[in-house]
Amino acid sequence: MATRSEQWFDAARRVLPGGVNSPVRAFNGVGGSPRYFVSGEGAWLTDADGRRYIDYIGSWGPAIVGHAHPKVLAAVGEQLAKGLGFGAPNELETRLAERIIEIVPHAEKVRMVSSGTEAAMTAIRLARGLTGRDRIVKFEGCYHGHADSLLVKAGSGALTMGVPTSPGVPAALAELTMTLNYNDSAQVREVFAQHGHAIAAVIVEPVAGNMNCVPPVPGFLETLREVTEQSGAILIFDEVMTGFRVALGGAQALYGIRPDLTVLGKVIGGGLPVGAVTGPAKHLDQLAPIGPVYQAGTLSGNPLAMASGLATLDLISTPDFHGALAAQTTKLCEGIEAAARDARVPLVTNHVCGMFGLFFSERPVRSFADVMACDVARFKRFFHALLDEGVNLAPSAFEAGFLSSAHGDAEIEQTVAAVARALAHS
């Protein structure tokens, strides 16, 4: 007999492309049918059939204080009683911008938008407007949303222009995007030596989270800062995932690298749809209505998202928050690696504070090529075995995992025990 999740997915496929509103939800990367979750509390989710799971997706990152935190719900509920939104300025968007400026090292002004894709697209447009140049640099394995300029893969050689990764992306636009190897400083220097005068921006996830979790190697981010300063290009940190998660001030605070623009999302909405671009006032003031670079959004700064974000930032601003989160993530990853050694399964992990990744590999994973060399077939079997054990990972070998402050010792120990059993059956 079909589960309720399977029944709901069958119904969804009749009216939604692939049955989903975001591709990774369809389980195409692991096979089978997605679980439909009906409620969440703390580190746990409950599906439509009443099964409970320890969750390591966290709504893809924003649930850093756990699901349905009482203080976040109370803040949203207070605003909900006043209305959903008015298409007009509201005080909450100013207050959230003020909090972001207090926390993010280079932030002086903020433009709120409604998604990470929209924020990255805005940052790219602003960088082109600031420099008067057209070309941008991105990195293989990093994802910055589905705007045309960013759905581009590398050409046939290291210094060739990009090609579209999706129908509908004009080849002429893709040719303005150069896709390089993440963590390859030598290649970055080579590209800037030849094309630096024409490059408007470099956009990068300072900790990659869309080829699973791959931290920067020493010197990589420093190289990006050096070559962009020398060439006059804009350095954009996409901190949609890392912002407020790997440190209170994000990856730029953790690694001591100050970009020109920062793209934010996820945590600043506490689980509601949101995005933002932030940076020095001299850059942000080039946006409309006071500057020539146009950007607009009817629902930008929605008061429900602003209330949720403010409550979340207040909760994570305590002195011990990120230290405790990092300690729990380390405990989880060490436990997973120990279970893999006991099972004689080649597995390594990466982690940075509240982000982690696990890879079926015999060697450390530092690049997109390393990720692609991992045993994806084994991950698929492991994913389903772990799901049957009541542990919810991202349904892809190429997505990072996330912990919250609600993941206590009991959840970590239960997860490690489940991993040991799953490895034995996968």
Active site residues: 143, 238, 266
CA distance 61 to 268: 11
Structure tokens at 115: 């998604």
Which is nearest to 353 in space by CA: 267, 286, 424, 421?
A: 267
Long-range (24+ apart) CB contacts under 8 A made by 1-9 are 3/33, 3/48, 3/49, 4/36, 4/47, 4/48, 4/49, 5/33, 5/34, 5/35, 5/36, 5/47, 5/48, 5/49, 6/33, 8/36, 8/48, 9/33, 9/34, 9/36
Residue 231 near residue 191 (C-beta atoms within 8 A): no
Backbone torsions φ then ψ of 253, nearest 5 degrees:
-75, -40
CA distance 156 to 86: 49
Tell me the three state secondary structure of residue 41. strand
CA dihedral 405, 410, 411, 417 (to 10 degrees): 150
CA distance 156 to 143: 20
Structure tokens at 237: 């940190």
Structure tokens at 108: 């002086």
CA distance 134 to 324: 43
Q: Residue holding tokens 């300690």?
A: 327
CA distance 243 to 47: 29
Which is nearest to 63 in space by CA: 87, 85, 45?
A: 45
How big is the chain, counted in residues?
Answer: 426
Tell me the three state secondary structure of residue 199. strand
Q: Would you call 363 exposed, middle or buried from its count of C-beta atoms within 10 A (0-12, 13-18, 19+)?
A: exposed
Q: Please state whether the peptide bond connecting residue 215 to the residue before it is cis, i.e. omega within 30 degrees of 0.
A: no
